[in-house]
Amino acid sequence: MSLSDRRRFLAGLGALTLTAGCGFRPVYGTGGNGRALRGAVRADDPVSRADFQFVAAFEDVLGRPDGPRYALAYTITQDEVEGGILQNFGATRIQLFGTLDFIVSDLATGTERATGQILANAAYSATSTQLSTLTAAEDAELRLMRMLAEGLITRLYTEPGLAAPA
């Protein structure tokens, strides 16, 4: 082992001890929030196609609730912005902006454990046939709902009040 390799190795060991000292835990490790939240969050019932897509993406990662400890109340809003407008044709590029406002409450006590807002955007092209534009719009909405769900899950993983019960 050369001198530079030893330095890198020792620096890596030093970094590990620093992260262990600050309370760092892998999300999916023993006692991590990834495992603690699996099947523990029940989302409100979906009422629109976007809601169904969001809840499906949310449950893909956290699993269907079996004995949930938390309730997720959410509101999704979407805005479309047209871009790349051509004369006598219209918009060739449409961007979707999504906002997810959420509240996670403890089912046993009813207290709010986490609240906030997640933002995401997706875009699609509208330069071909009407059917392909509609398909692209639906795909963009699906991607947007997945991004909102993943953003929320990441946020929940980092919430200190949502750790596994002792």
Give all domains of the chain, ordered by start, each with its CATH number. 39-161 (3.30.160.150)
What span, in angstroms and rounded, lies between the C-alpha atoms of 21 and 144?
37
Residue 117's nearest CA partner among 98, 141, 96 is 98
What pLDDT was estimated at residue 29? Answer: 64
pTM for this model (two decimals) = 0.79
Edge-to-edge, what's the strand order for the sheet holding 90-106?
41-43, 70-86, 90-106, 112-125
The SS3 assignment for 136 reads helix
Q: Indicate the pairing of strand 112-125 with strand 70-86.
A: unpaired
What span, in angstroms and rounded, lies between the C-alpha atoms of 136 and 143?
10
According to DSSP, the residues that pair with 105 across neighbouring strands are 71, 112
What span, in angstroms and rounded, lies between the C-alpha atoms of 132 and 137?
9
What span, in angstroms and rounded, lies between the C-alpha atoms of 27 and 62?
12
The stretch 57-64 carries a mean pLDDT of: 94
The stretch 38-47 carries a mean pLDDT of: 94
Residue 99's nearest CA partner among 72, 80, 113 is 80
Q: What are phi and psi of 121, to 5 degrees?
A: -150, 155
The stretch 26-44 carries a mean pLDDT of: 78
Confidence of residue 80 (pLDDT cuts 50, 70, 90): very high
pLDDT higher than threshold 80 for residue 158: yes
Distance, first Cα to last Cα, the chain: 45
What pLDDT was estimated at residue 85? Answer: 67
What pLDDT was estimated at residue 161? Answer: 72
